[in-house]
């Protein structure tokens, strides 16, 4: 069996995902910078508004009404949260488990047809009971990637992946 190295995998991934025809308006943070530049597309503006208002203190859940479709779906940890009201409830619960929550949008890009926005982000705060752990105030820091569907000028579906395993390891709850 032929050995595949990391460089080959990276090249294949870049060729598949980061072709000029696939992306428009790359809003990337320069090397070493914390936050992405300003949104460059309508979809990116919607995502940026949601991140700023829903996952930062003070939390403004009404942003979900402004930027999300009525039938929005959030797919997280294999579960679909359906509708604005359910999304608000989920976001309030999630945020209540991270004291002083702050989400920084590190990078965003939009598909050529404008129907998808991808965001790479970092959340920080203090543990107030995440993942069923004791609310011990330990530092919370994890990264994630969200893929958003944009439909009729609203955010319609979000598929989110976050680095929960790395966070749990940093707290001493398991080793690989």
pLDDT for 176: 59
Structure tokens at 47: 């995502």
Mean pLDDT for 54-79 is 97
pLDDT for 175: 66
Number of compact structural domains in the chain: 1
- Does residue 53 fall inside a structural domain? yes
Task: Specify the range with the lowest mean pLDDT, choosing from 21-25, 94-98, 144-148.
Answer: 21-25
- Does residue 46 fall inside a structural domain? yes
Task: Please state the separation of Cα 91 from the chain's center in Å.
Answer: 12
Q: What strand order describes the sheet that includes 79-82?
A: 23-28, 98-111, 116-127, 139-151, 154-162, 68-76, 79-82
- Does residue 12 fall inside a structural domain? no
- Does residue 14 fall inside a structural domain? no
29-62 pLDDT, tens digit each: 433 337 888 999 999 999 999 999 999 999 999 9
Half-sphere exposure in the Cβ direction for 115 (13 Å, CA): 3
C-beta separation of 65 from 53 below 8 A: no
- Does residue 4 fall inside a structural domain? no
Please give the Cα distance from 149 to 157 (Å, whole number). 5
pLDDT for 7: 41
Domain containing residue 50: CATH number: 3.10.450.50
Q: Domain of residue 163: give its range.
A: 23-170
- Does residue 125 fall inside a structural domain? yes
pLDDT for 4: 42
Specify the residue for token string 């359910």: 86
């Amino acid at each position: 069996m032929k050995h595949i190295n990391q460089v080959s995998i990276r090249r294949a991934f870049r060729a598949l995902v980061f072709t000029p025809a696939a992306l428009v308006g790359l809003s990337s943070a320069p090397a070493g910078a914390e936050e992405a530049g300003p949104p460059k597309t309508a979809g990116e503006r919607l995502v940026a508004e949601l991140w700023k208002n829903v996952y930062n203190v003070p939390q403004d859940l009404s942003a979900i009404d402004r930027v999300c479709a009525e039938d929005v779906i959030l797919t997280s940890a294999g579960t679909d949260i359906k509708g604005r009201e359910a999304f608000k409830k989920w976001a309030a619960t999630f945020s209540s488990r991270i004291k002083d929550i702050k989400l920084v949008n590190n990078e965003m890009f939009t598909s050529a047809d404008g129907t998808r926005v991808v965001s790479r982000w970092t959340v920080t705060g203090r543990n107030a009971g995440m993942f069923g752990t004791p609310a011990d105030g330990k530092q919370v820091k994890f990264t994630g990637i969200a893929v958003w569907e944009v439909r009729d000028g609203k955010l319609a579906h979000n598929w989110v992946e976050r680095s929960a395993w790395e966070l749990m390891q940093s707290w001493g709850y398991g080793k690989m």
